[in-house]
Amino acid sequence: MARAFRKVLIANRGEIAVRVIRTLHEMGIAAVALYSDADRSALHVRMADEAYPIGPAPANESYLRIDKVLDVAKKAGCDAIHPGYGFLSENAEFADACERAGVTFIGPPGSAMRQLGSKTAARLKMQEAGVPVVPGAMCDTAEEAVAAATKIGFPVMLKASAGGGGKGMRLVHEASEMANAWERARSEAKKFFGDDTVYIEKAILTPRHVEIQVFGDRDGNMVHMFERDCSIQRRNQKVVEETPSPAASKELIAKMGAIAVQGAKAVGYFSAGTFEFLLAPDGNFYFLEMNTRLQVEHPVTELVTGLDLVREMVTVAQGSPLPFLQQDLQSRGAAIQCRIYAEDPSTGFLPSPGVIKELSVPAGPGIRDDGGAYPGCTISSYYDPLISKLCVWAPTRERAVARMRRALSEYIVTGIRTNLAFHERLFQHAGFVAGNYDTGYLERHHDELVGYPDVPGAKADALAVALAIAAARTERAAGNASKAEGEAGSALAPWVAQHRARTLRG
């Protein structure tokens, strides 16, 4: 029987906590926030109905502490916990601990997480369910890996069994590279996930990364909500996502969706989840992994379907059945998302934490900005440097690309470095504009999208700032002269000068 939640704890921070709070408030549900010492003044704390400290800045002393999270839930009298994404969102132990504590976990059951949490276990489970997987093998030594790769065929990809986000991954082109790649992949896997188990997969060259959003209820009803193309990546991490995919027909997506639903049902899944596939140039597709949570890129699905996935997660967690069938769902128009990060593309997209001095986000028809920052806030070095997710919707992809160009031109951030100019270049780049890209696109076009066009490094920064200041002074002087003559003069606004500096800076 369905029961309404009165108060929900968001076991997360930043942009996704703000996103969840907004839907909870629309539903008339009180939102409770957590904050570490570094997040005392964060936007999600300011927006919540109640907020509680949870510990020092490092995540393993605060946001990753199951005991502390549950203590806050008990103290605040929460009915349920929404984990967002990252942190504890895919932790089966946390999901089970919530249920034992009498607090509903707004997400899938721990049993499903366990079956899909390990990539190697997930591969086997999906093979049993009839989901196509990339040819691969488990190996205990570099020598075994060479033998398996020789059988599968080089090139191969080494992957951390317990990980994601590009960590513990190495592309191996030939046998002589295996020993070094093997040790580096295991070392990185151990560092980030506490498990040095790695496996090998046949490397699919120039693939698209296409994922299928699935959603189910506790009664076994399951649907897919179409696809997202996430092929624009740096360091195996997504930076741009769009739907529909420029490379997939409706028939292919229907086939991928049906297989994803089949795979989700095989593990007793409910709530939001995502099947990630590699789409080869020949049209074949292969299971990569399932993310047992809400995805960062969920807004583009919401924009084309008209659904609120957070609301649907809450209603399913309350015990309600899905209010729609597969045939009721439609994808309308085109949506694109850019992840706006505090990072420096010229240094390999390394984080650029610091204090945001000015922040002005775009607006107008078809624009959505899911942010967690404000002027004067600090982008911490302890967490992912995501500032916001800038999304657009339009009736066609061509118009969505044009709308994103316009939105990016209006987006102003000062005080820290961002990847805004990189996005502006990408949305002018011929291959991307035509929809002809794959997961290696940024690497192949690095100099055009990231490099400085005329002046290298710091000189480009200095020149850009000097030009912007000179332009501002010139136009301001012209405006003052016009006003003195009784004419309608106008000075160049400071944010325009800053925007020009950013554009020149690259």
Active site residues: 293
Rounded alpha-carbon distances, angstroms, from residue 99 to 69, 96, 109, 215, 243? 13, 5, 9, 21, 35
The residues, ordered by sequence, that sit 6+ positions from 138 with a Cβ below 8 Å of its Cβ are 120, 199
Ramachandran assignment for 415, one of left (phi > 0), alpha (psi -120 to 50 degrees), beta (any other): left
Packing angle between helix 92-100 and helix 66-76, nearest 10 degrees? Answer: 30
Packing angle between helix 119-128 and helix 250-266, nearest 10 degrees? Answer: 100
Task: With H, G, I as helix, E, B as strand and everything else as coil, classify residue 27.
Answer: coil
The residues, ordered by sequence, that sit 6+ positions from 63 with a Cβ below 8 Å of its Cβ are 11, 12, 13, 34, 36, 54, 69, 87, 88
| Residue 177 · residue 189 · CB < 8 Å | no
Assign 3-class secondary structure to 98-152.
HHHCCCEECCCCHHHHHHHHCHHHHHHHHHHCCCCECCEEECCCHHHHHHHHHHH
145-157 b/e (C-beta count within 10 Å ≥ 16 → b): bbebbeebebebb
